[in-house]
Amino acid sequence: MDDEQELLRRLRRGDHGALEAVIKLHHAFLVAMAVPLVGPESADDVAQETWLKAFAAFGKFEGRSKLRTWLARIAINEAHAMRRKRGREVSLDGWGVDSGSPISSRFNEQGAWDVPPSQWHHESPEELLTEAELYECIRKHLHKLPSDQQSVVMMRELGGLDYPEIAQALGLAEGNIRVLLHRGRQRMHAMLNHFEEVGTC
């Protein structure tokens, strides 16, 4: 990601504009990721603490992961620290229960496709993301996912965290994380498939 490399170069120089730009790019993600960990009232504090730590450490960031992944790891550590300090656990009741396949009605009794997926007009993530309406639709449906699926999709797909990290952060087994991720992907696929079929969200 050349843009990210350039941004990092500027961040390491302490360029004020780059600091603003990186906050603009990732603050909302950090807040959204922290909400299930510390609650909505403290999620912004976690993001602020993350920036403090990150600004002091950009020089040490080696670029082996995406910047978003590096920030997500700091945010998870900050969320843990905040939970310890405030002596409370976030209750995630009902998280991790498999809601079942969102596409089960698309198969017949023998388990063959009744309503198969359509051919899509877009062939690459870049093509899909250049359509403004589709981008808005993806964001909207990401927020509509059940909270546990949304959280795992955010951490794994957007954040690039690995399964053990996510399992530990959410207090769930890795097996649960894999199921939640699959269900979230299936729902997002169904959304994209609908968009490709009818051309609107």
Q: Which stretch binds another protein (CB under 8 A): 35-43, 86-94, 150-158, 164-172?
A: 150-158
Q: Which stretch binds another protein (CB under 8 A): 7-15, 79-87, 128-136, 165-173?
A: 128-136
By CB under 8 A, is residue 80 in contact with another protein? no
Minimal distance, residue 177 CB to another protein, in Å:
11
Nearer to another protein, 88 or 147 (CB): 147
Query: Residues 10, 32, 92, 137: which binds another protein (CB under 8 A)?
Result: 32
Nearest residue to 154 via CA among 132, 120, 180, 128: 180
By CB under 8 A, is residue 52 in contact with another protein? yes
Minimal distance, residue 88 CB to another protein, in Å:
23
By CB under 8 A, is residue 105 in contact with another protein? no
CA gyration radius, the chain = 19
Q: Which amino acid is at 17?
A: G
Helix orientation angle between 16-38 and 163-170, rounded to the nearest 10 degrees: 60
The SS3 of residue 173 is: coil
Q: Give residues with Cβ within 8 angstroms of 67, minimum separation 6.
A: 4, 7, 8, 22, 26, 61
Cα–Cα distance list, 59 to 1, 38, 55 (Å): 18, 28, 9
Helix orientation angle between 2-12 and 16-38, rounded to the nearest 10 degrees: 100
By CB under 8 A, is residue 19 in contact with another protein? yes
Q: Which stretch binds another protein (CB under 8 A): 5-13, 77-85, 98-106, 166-174?
A: 98-106
Q: Which stretch binds another protein (CB under 8 A): 25-33, 34-42, 57-65, 77-85?
A: 25-33
Q: CA 175 from chain center: how many Å? A: 18
In the chain, the N- to C-terminal Cα span, in Å, equals: 29
Q: Give residues in contact with another protein (CB under 8 A).
A: 16, 19-21, 23-29, 32, 48, 51-52, 55, 101, 103-104, 107, 110-113, 116-117, 119-120, 122-126, 128-129, 135, 138-139, 142, 153, 157-158, 160, 178, 181-182, 185-186, 188-189, 192-193
